[in-house]
Structure 1
Amino acid sequence: MKRLFILVALFVPVFLNAQTKLSQAIIDDFSARVAAHYQLPHDSITGYIAEQLTRSGNAGLDIDSTVFDLKKDPVALDAALKYLYQYSDCNRQRFITNLRSLELQTNSVFPIATYTANKFKGDTKSLLDDKKDFLTTYTGPVTGKKPPATIAEVAAANQAAASTPVATNSTASESNSAASPEGAATAAANTAPAADTRNWEVRPLFQVRTPEQLVEMYGAANVTQHDAVNLAGDKDGEAYVIYPDTDNELEVQFDGENGNILTFSHYPSKWKSPYGIKAGDPLDKLIKVNGRPFKINGFEWTDGGRVSSWNGGSLEGKNVIIVLKANNTGDPKQYDQVTGDKTIRSDMAALKKLDVIIESVAFKAAN
């Protein structure tokens, strides 16, 4: 009997640990398979996971970097498992089937299934309710993605784009043929500008640490330095501007150990920004991304139009700074309701009539 108690004492902790912790080999396997399937077009599982990670804010500023390397982010890894469990209707057998469809190693499937089912067994109702709500706006998987580009890859792509000659209608025969309708069409095609093949991903900019790297990536002619100015109009250090004086102008500010700050205040812009948020986007889109209404400082006052609180939404704590502006300010009865030293809710009826858009948006990522 004493021997039996000893055996129980030895094996029960081991058994419990197997239910509450995944080995690094299993984590690496799951991470690798999710990354591989995320590169497949229209993969429903990884598309669902990525969209839910973005919606919940668990993906941080860079959804692709997160999905491609879940093993480096324990919080995102657990969230990915949770959303795969949710995708499987919180049904263990369905969850196992979906794990197998990711082509995991056989000895990874059951430990992951047990770990996930145990971890989220008390959340079944809330997960199913959340899924029902999520599916009302979900438009399908966004997959077929490539791993995040490196600084060197961005530099190479932009240099190649800069060296691509623009087609011109320079030959005599083309000039003569332009007299006919067919020739005119040919001439138009020959004079069309080359396709823009520059790299518009902002993700590599969070990796940049020096102005020299910016010049390497975008060329000396496309990077300038100026004083950074805060919302109060005061100087706030130095900043570097990529593609200055164009719709694609982007400001980069290095903040030492606090990370880089990327600010967009021009539109329409070609940059592919975090969360899909850009300057010029309407207020309704921002509310949708956050998942709930938020609070705004009254216009025409200190920090006017700035989002003061995300009210616990998806953008809470994500270092996203947004300033809004109202385009239709001609009706004082409407505009006066949202101006002055006050805080207003983003779902306030008056805002809907004022054509409120994002004036500027800044993203900050820690080093």
Structure 2
Amino acid sequence: MKRFLIFLLFALPLAAGAQTLSESAVEDISEKMAAKFQLRNDPALVFVTEQMSRSGSGGLEVDKTMMELGKDPAALDAALKFLYQYSDCNRQTLIANLRGMDVKSGNVFPLATYIVNKNKTEAKTLQDEKAELLRIGAIPAVTSVMVAPPANQPGVVANATAETPAGAAQPAAAAAGSTAAAAPVEDTRNWEVRSVFAMTRPDDLQTLYGKENVELRDATDLDGNYTGKAWYVYPDTENEMQVIFNADSSKTITFTHERSKWKSPFGIKPGDPIDKVNKVNARAFRVNGFEWTNGGIVDSWEGGAMDKKGVQILFRAINSGDPKLYDQFTGEKKFRSDNSGLKKLNVVVDKVVFKTYQ
């Protein structure tokens, strides 16, 4: 009997901490997040979606994920965690944001309690991460989304070339004959890769990015084999993006330039070190040996965060001048991505491919 009482003393606190959300709360918060997400200008949901993309929690088709959070418990938990992060890991701020999303009053406190309890051990990490993202400019202090087309597309007139309608008042500087340089035109292009996922035909690319910025060219796979034709957006620039519209309505999107402005799924881009990919995948993965068939291409994600998510990556070694070390990773073999020798070789992402499921 004494043992049973001791068991209860330990078991009751554990049971109290193992909180779950009611179906009503899940349905409510999922619907409210989807509604705010569709506005594309709600600061909280913009932040949450950015973090879902950056962390890979939203998968390749993050738009679809955000609209169906109730069907994906892991994605919903991630979205709630990032809402908590957006709220500076402060319970009262979180409650205010839940109310601002029009969450039903009966669900606000259960949701806040669930979110805080589930993420309280990560609170400092989340706050530090947000502060660092702000510091490096990865997220703006006032979150916003780019929705306007680029300046060379219809509907946008660059400040430097705009004509003033007849009879309209001239700017003071112009009236005074000022020779001051015109303010630089803001880059309003949509750099979200997920914008391409919903497209169904090449014309959509031309509509969004301008016909003069889209060309049909030969394409190759990661191993250099010819695969037919692909549409190139901003060809021969740092922002070049290759898009193939497959017969099954899926799309294959490839990036090969390091300094592009594109915001890609999982936040991975060419030039990223292999260690960053380890962290995004949340575990080590397996890579084919260099200088061989499929050399440097990920062979298996080993059940990590990017497993079965339509991501293919080709790596290259920048410091391959040490033959003895480099030979350990070349030939008909596979190596683990957390091998310490890879840092000495400075192995980085060479190309990254995202394949959508529809």
How high is the TM-score relative to the length of structure 2?
0.69
How far apart are residue 72 of structure 1 and its match? 7.2
Q: Would you say the 8 A contact 2:274–2:349 is kept in 1?
A: yes
How far apart are residue 198 of structure 1 and its match? 3.5
Query: Counterpart of 2:356?
Result: 365
Letter matched to residue 164 of structure 1: A
SS of equivalent to 1:238: strand
Residue of 85, 99, 102 corresponding to 2:98: 102
SS of equivalent to 1:227: strand
Deviations along 1:176-224, one digit per CA (max 9) or x if unpaired, are xxxxxxxxxx78x57x975544433322211221122222223333222
Once the two structures are overlaid, the 10-residue window that deviates more, 297-306 or 315-324, is 315-324
How far apart are residue 320 of structure 1 and its match? 1.6
Give the 3 Å change call, closer, same or farther, for CA 210–353 of structure 1 in structure 2.
same
1:344 aligns with 2:343: no
Residue of 234, 255, 275 corresponding to 1:284: 275
Letter matched to residue 248 of structure 2: E
Query: Counterpart of 2:319?
Result: 328
How far apart are residue 157 of structure 1 and its match? 5.1
Distance 1:116 1:352 in 2: 42
Letter matched to residue 42 of structure 2: Q
- Structure 1 residues 219-298: aligned runs within 5 Å: 219-298=210-289
How high is the TM-score relative to the length of structure 1?
0.67
Distance 2:159 2:39 in 1: 36
SS of equivalent to 1:353: helix
Letter matched to residue 99 of structure 1: I
Write 1 or 2 for the structure with the bigger share of helix.
1
Give the unaligned 5+ runs of structure 2: 1-20, 162-178
Q: Would you say the 8 A contact 2:87–2:97 is kept in 1?
A: no
Distance 2:251 2:309 in 1: 13
Q: Would you say the 8 A contact 2:273–2:349 is kept in 1?
A: yes
Aligned residues: 314
Q: Would you say the 8 A contact 1:33–1:104 is kept in 2?
A: no
Give the unaligned 5+ runs of structure 1: 1-17, 168-185
- Structure 1 residues 126-275: aligned runs within 5 Å: 127-129=119-121, 137=129, 139=132, 142=139, 144-146=142-144, 149=147, 153-154=148-149, 158-159=152-153, 164=158, 189=181, 196-275=187-266
Give the superposed CA RMSD. 4.3
Deviations along 1:217-263, one digit per CA (max 9) or x if unpaired, are 23333222123322343332431111222222110011243521110
Give the share of equivalent positions with the same residue, in percent. Answer: 40
- Structure 1 residues 27-46: aligned runs within 5 Å: 27-29=30-32, 31-32=34-35, 39-40=42-43
SS of equivalent to 2:278: helix
Distance 1:101 1:165 in 2: 37
SS of equivalent to 1:28: helix
Give the 3 Å change call, closer, same or farther, for CA 158–256 of structure 1 in structure 2.
farther
Once the two structures are overlaid, the 10-residue window that deviates more, 98-107 or 253-262, is 98-107
Distance 1:36 1:162 in 2: 21
Q: Would you say the 8 A contact 1:239–1:252 is kept in 2?
A: yes
Structure number with bigger Rg? 1
How far apart are residue 310 of structure 1 and its match? 2.7
How far apart are residue 360 of structure 1 and its match? 0.6
Q: Would you say the 8 A contact 1:325–1:357 is kept in 2?
A: yes
Letter matched to residue 284 of structure 2: P
Distance 1:356 1:294 in 2: 14
SS of equivalent to 1:351: helix
Give the 3 Å change call, closer, same or farther, for CA 344–137 of structure 1 in structure 2.
farther
